[in-house]
Amino acid sequence: MATELPLTPVPRADDDLCVARVPLFQGLTREQQWEVAAVARPVRVARGECLYRAGDDVSQLMVVHTGRLKISRISPDGREQIVRVLEPGDFVGESAFLSGERPDHFATALEPGSMCVFRHRDLERLVSEHPSIGLRMLEGVSRRLSEIEERLAAVTSVDVGARLARYLVELPATRESGVAVVRLPLAKKDIASLLDTTPESLSRQLTRLQEAGVIAQEGSRTVRLLDERRLLTLAGEG
């Protein structure tokens, strides 16, 4: 029998409709979005909370409203490998909905946040009544598979320095006196896991970039991209 997550309900707000922010439901009218919201279960999660583990029988689609989740696997030697990070608007649980299989990964909250949770039986009815939801779900799965293929290709053919350079140039940036400034969204150990390397190797690569005048690190999270052209070249995009 499928288990439901022991998550804390959070009240709905008329001006902050969870499903209105999600690409999965943006093809619907406002009235239809309210219909979807009526079967959604708004929940709140705490930082570090494990939503489910590999092998759990969890029959729910979870849509991130605020905060971020990390999807990770544990290797046979006990090392955590982050597969992806879910931002607001992203969702997880569609694989179990489409295939009926139990997850092979862990889902953990990186920070306090909230989600819209749909039981699979409710989601099945919604997809039947609004086929655009199913189509967008498949589009999301297809896009995710493409990203995984690109990542696997990078791991086998691109060195750590190039993977780090690509990661940095793809982060959202602000401009200060013409210089791009990015904020690392994860702890460095988690970035290392996401880039399929070790924290020590990541630190060495960051130090090399800084010594070469390509970047400047400010504190633990802020990075100034002093030479974006060089970074693009290192990333294989220049």
pLDDT digit string (tens) for 177-202?
Answer: 999 999 999 999 999 988 888 999 99
CB-based contacts of 125, cutoff 8 Å, min separation 6 = 39
Give the helix ranges, DSSP H, for 2-130: 30-39, 94-99, 120-129
Residue 9 pLDDT class (50, 70, 90 cuts): very low
Question: pLDDT tens-digit profile of 150-180?
Answer: 766 665 556 889 989 999 999 999 999 999 9
Q: State if pTM tops 0.85.
A: no
pLDDT at 52: 92
Q: How far is residue 27 from each of residues 3, 32, 129, measured CA to CA in Å?
A: 30, 9, 13
Tokens at 126, concatenated: 């919604």
Average pLDDT, the chain: 85
Residue 205 pLDDT class (50, 70, 90 cuts): very high
Tokens at 70, concatenated: 């990390």
- CB 115 within 8 Å of CB 52: no
| Domains, the chain, with CATH or none | 8-156 (2.60.120.10), 158-234 (1.10.10.10)
**Nearest one of 24, 21, 33 to 66, comparing CA atoms:** 21
Residue 59 pLDDT class (50, 70, 90 cuts): confident
Backbone angles phi, psi at 184, to 5 degrees: -65, 120
pLDDT at 200: 94
Give the separation between CA 94 and CA 13, rounded to whole angstroms.
Answer: 26
Residue 5 pLDDT class (50, 70, 90 cuts): low
Whether the pLDDT of residue 129 is over 70: the answer is: yes
Number of other CB atoms surrounding residue 222 within 10 Å: 12
HSE-up of residue 21 (Cα within 13 Å, Cβ side): 16
Question: pLDDT tens-digit profile of 72-93?
Answer: 998 888 888 898 899 998 888 8
> What mean pLDDT comes out for the span 11-19?
53
pLDDT at 22: 78
> What mean pLDDT comes out for the span 29-53?
90
pLDDT at 71: 93
pLDDT cut 90: percent of the chain above it: 39
